[in-house]
């Protein structure tokens, strides 16, 4: 039985026709007072799952979120919808906090955002006891997991909510998909009777593209210029230095790029984040310190120029693209050096063997995704225990790579390494190894007498690049390792033997020189395609929106999402009642902007 109050709020406040996926079931369960644990991908629509019940149930919905820097935007977006929302965090002065506290006690708030460290104080708990609470929403609930990179110790204290307010429903939400994290959240937040809702983690509008790293700056620039000129996007790097260098490089190339990492002062970070959210077409070059909770809907690409440490991290980071359902790109460049570097980092990491093994298998899964010759999406979702058929929207589906029998090539390479391993104390790298295989007469080869090795020149059939690819894949599959004790040289592993003895066939991925721009159409969209004729109206509406957003000091998408403007541009409504039918136009926005939109369309038609 559907609850008419939920649909009424959905239509009146948010202007949406219907719930998506599990939203309705979740909303109704929480309205009735049930606890819920919600796993939904980024862009899946988690916010409505607690916002709608908070508006239907008597009292204030208390939202616990670690993202202090984003609370203002969240509250602004709700205020635009006519929802009475506020936050309590350390950025406020005494008077501001007091005003919010009074409004809460007087029952004048629909939603109250609180940082976890604040919630755990006696003062805050006493305050909450003086008002009526509709529900507790624990956002970014994976922060309770000690294994994830977003761990926040304060989250562990949140299990007290249940003890102190046993009758208030709790809903925990996260975009992290693994079963282990789900069980951990349920246990640590004492969500013993919560119903679990696990959505499909597929993001069909994101096109996955993984390329071999050559000249990564040039490759990145090509991606930005040819496929994403003028688009907003994120470029992830592993180190702070690389962030700074890459941002500088992109700026020098005329791209509006900003750096973000934990080494920058808080003010710089806040300013860069704010520019990224508020202005169109800004590229953020960042470490993984950036991104959680960023709900900018029109991020068109996420590029990784270093290999992520795990599939889970990669999925979270790429998931920040295309929240609005329009085509978006997840691009990753990866090469031999990435594998060597990450394996070394694991070897050198602090922690016991079990910890290192955990890191090692996370990396192996990521490497498997990079080297696969079949559908990337199938592989990605498999990791989260979900099954789909080939997607048609990843590089491997659009431009299938070949696999080839690399057994003989691998044997040649492994024997060369075996010969060199006998020369203890000598340090050599991939370049030298490949020179030997290809029979090159470099000074180094001559100096060490390596031209007389039996393996000298046995690999002239493959190019240098092809050999690098073989080497990378051997490392990726742990058929080779970087021997720390042997001065960081390459060494055989136990598994190498089976290949050397011919007991194991080895299929490898063949790199093809693929243009970044694929011949396939621009990608999948969850929105209807916009006819050409609607484009100029859409542009006029965007200009109108930019003006309003600037005067209100909020990001443009807080006024209306692109998806809503597209629908308006296609429908060209000529009355308020026609405009009210557009998805995303609720009562308050109709009242605030309806006339102004109709004028904008009328002006456009007159000029045309």
- Kindly tell me which of 213 and 566 has the beta carbon lying closer to ligand ADP: 566
- Kindly tell me which of 222 and 386 has the beta carbon lying closer to ligand ADP: 386
586 binds ligand ADP (CB under 6 A): no
Cα angle: 181, vertex 182, 184; to 5 degrees: 60
Euclidean distance between CA atoms 436 and 458, whole angstroms: 8
Q: Exactly one of 16, 383, 456, 593 binds ligand ADP (CB under 6 A); which one?
A: 16
- Considering the complex, what minimum distance in angstroms separates the CB of residue 26 from ligand ADP? 11
Q: Choose the binding region for ligand ADP from 41-49, 104-112, 187-195, 594-602 (rule: CB under 6 A).
A: 41-49
Q: Choose the binding region for ligand ADP from 17-25, 307-315, 406-414, 423-431 (rule: CB under 6 A).
A: 17-25
- Considering the complex, what minimum distance in angstroms separates the CB of residue 324 from ligand ADP? 6
45 binds ligand ADP (CB under 6 A): yes
- Considering the complex, what minimum distance in angstroms separates the CB of residue 431 from ligand ADP? 45
43 binds ligand ADP (CB under 6 A): yes
Size of the site for ligand ADP (CB under 6 A): 17
- Scan residues 318-357 and list those touching ligand ADP (CB under 6 A): 323
Burial class (CB in 10 A: 0-12, 13-18, 19+), 58: exposed
47 binds ligand ADP (CB under 6 A): yes
Say how many Å lie between the first and final Cα of the chain, rounded: 49
561 binds ligand ADP (CB under 6 A): yes
Task: Annotate 90-142 with three-state secondary structure.
Answer: CCCCHHHHHHHHHHHHCCCCCEEEECHHHHCCHHHHHHHHCCCEEEEEECCHH
Q: Exactly one of 8, 20, 239, 357 binds ligand ADP (CB under 6 A); which one?
A: 20
**Which run of H or E residues covers position 86?**
strand 85-88
Q: Choose the binding region for ligand ADP from 37-45, 255-263, 355-363, 546-554 (rule: CB under 6 A).
A: 37-45
297 binds ligand ADP (CB under 6 A): yes
The structure tokens listed for 124 are: 């805050």
19 binds ligand ADP (CB under 6 A): yes
- Considering the complex, what minimum distance in angstroms separates the CB of residue 48 from ligand ADP? 5
CB-CB contact of 277 with 252 (8 Å): no
- Kindly tell me which of 137 and 508 has the beta carbon lying closer to ligand ADP: 137
42 binds ligand ADP (CB under 6 A): yes
- Kindly tell me which of 44 and 66 has the beta carbon lying closer to ligand ADP: 44
- Considering the complex, what minimum distance in angstroms separates the CB of residue 282 from ligand ADP? 19
- Sign of CA pseudo-dihedral 468, 474, 478, 481: negative
Nearest alpha-carbon partner for 491 in 287, 326, 347, 384: 347
CA 50 to each of CA 136, 174, 240, 314: distance values in angstroms, whole numbers, following the listed order:
8, 12, 36, 27
298 binds ligand ADP (CB under 6 A): no
CA 213 to each of CA 60, 253, 334, 449: distance values in angstroms, whole numbers, following the listed order:
51, 20, 5, 32
- The radius of gyration of the chain from alpha carbons, rounded to an integer in Å, stands at 27
CA 211 to each of CA 22, 216, 394: distance values in angstroms, whole numbers, following the listed order:
35, 10, 12
Residue nearest to ligand ADP (CB): 45
CA 466 to each of CA 407, 437, 469, 512: distance values in angstroms, whole numbers, following the listed order:
14, 12, 5, 10
Which residues are near ligand ADP by CB under 6 A?
16, 19-20, 23, 40, 42-48, 295, 297, 323, 561, 583
């Amino acid at each position: 039985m559907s609850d008419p109050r939920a649909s009424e709020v959905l239509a009146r406040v948010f202007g949406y026709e219907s719930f998506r996926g599990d939203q309705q079931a979740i909303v109704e369960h929480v309205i009735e007072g049930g606890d819920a644990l919600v796993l939904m991908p980024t862009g899946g629509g988690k916010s409505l799952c607690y916002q709608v019940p908070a508006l239907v149930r008597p009292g204030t919905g208390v939202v616990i979120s670690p993202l202090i820097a984003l609370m203002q935007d969240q509250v602004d977006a709700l205020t635009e919808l006519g929802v009475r929302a506020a936050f309590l965090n350390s950025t406020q002065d005494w008077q501001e906090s007091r005003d919010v506290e009074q409004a809460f006690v007087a029952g004048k708030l629909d939603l109250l955002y609180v940082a976890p460290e604040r919630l755990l104080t006696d003062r805050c708990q006493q305050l909450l006891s003086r008002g009526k609470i509709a529900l507790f929403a624990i956002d970014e609930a994976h922060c309770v997991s000690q294994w994830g990179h977003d761990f926040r110790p304060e989250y562990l204290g949140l299990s007290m909510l249940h003890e102190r307010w046993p009758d208030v429903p709790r809903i925990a939400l996260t975009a992290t998909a693994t079963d282990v994290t789900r069980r951990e959240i349920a246990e640590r937040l004492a969500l013993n009777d919560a119903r679990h809702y696990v959505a499909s983690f597929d993001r069909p509008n994101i096109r996955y593209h993984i390329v071999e790293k050559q000249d990564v700056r040039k490759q990145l620039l090509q991606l930005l210029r040819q496929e994403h000129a003028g688009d907003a996007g994120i470029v992830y790097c592993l180190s702070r230095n690389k962030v700074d260098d890459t941002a500088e490089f992109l700026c020098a190339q005329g791209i509006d790029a900003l750096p973000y990492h934990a080494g920058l002062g808080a003010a710089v970070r806040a300013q860069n984040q704010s520019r990224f959210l508020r202005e169109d077409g800004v590229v953020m070059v960042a470490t993984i310190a950036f991104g959680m909770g960023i709900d900018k809907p029109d991020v068109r690409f996420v590029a990784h120029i270093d290999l992520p440490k795990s599939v889970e991290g990669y999925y979270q980071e790429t998931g920040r693209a295309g929240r609005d359902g329009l085509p978006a790109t997840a691009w990753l460049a990866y090469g031999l050096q990435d594998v060597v570097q990450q394996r070394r980092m694991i070897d050198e990491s602090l922690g016991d063997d079990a910890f290192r093994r955990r890191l090692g298998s996370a990396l192996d899964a990521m490497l498997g995704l990079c080297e696969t010759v079949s559908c990337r999406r199938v592989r990605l979702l498999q990791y989260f225990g979900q099954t789909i058929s080939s997607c048609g929207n990843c590089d491997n589906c659009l431009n299938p790579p070949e696999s080839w029998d690399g057994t003989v090539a691998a044997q040649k390479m492994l024997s060369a390494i075996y010969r060199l391993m006998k020369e203890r104390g000598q340090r050599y790298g991939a370049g030298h190894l490949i020179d030997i295989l290809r029979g090159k007469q470099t000074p180094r080869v001559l100096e060490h007498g390596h031209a007389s090795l039996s393996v000298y020149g046995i690999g002239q059939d493959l190019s240098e690049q092809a050999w690098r690819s073989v080497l990378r894949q051997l490392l990726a599959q742990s058929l080779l390792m970087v021997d720390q004790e042997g001065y960081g040289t390459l060494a055989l592993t136990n598994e190498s033997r089976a290949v050397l003895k011919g007991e194991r066939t080895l299929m490898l991925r063949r790199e093809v020189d693929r243009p970044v721009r694929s011949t396939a159409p621009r990608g999948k969209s969850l929105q209807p395609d916009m006819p050409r004729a609607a484009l100029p109206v859409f542009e006029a509406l965007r200009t109108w929106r930019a003006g309003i957003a600037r005067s209100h000091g909020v990001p443009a998408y807080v006024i209306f999402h692109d998806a809503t403007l597209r629908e308006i541009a296609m429908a060209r409504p000529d009355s308020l009642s026609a405009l009210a039918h557009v998805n995303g136009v609720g009562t308050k926005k109709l009242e605030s902007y309806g006339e102004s939109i109709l004028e904008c369309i009328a002006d456009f038609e007159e000029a045309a």
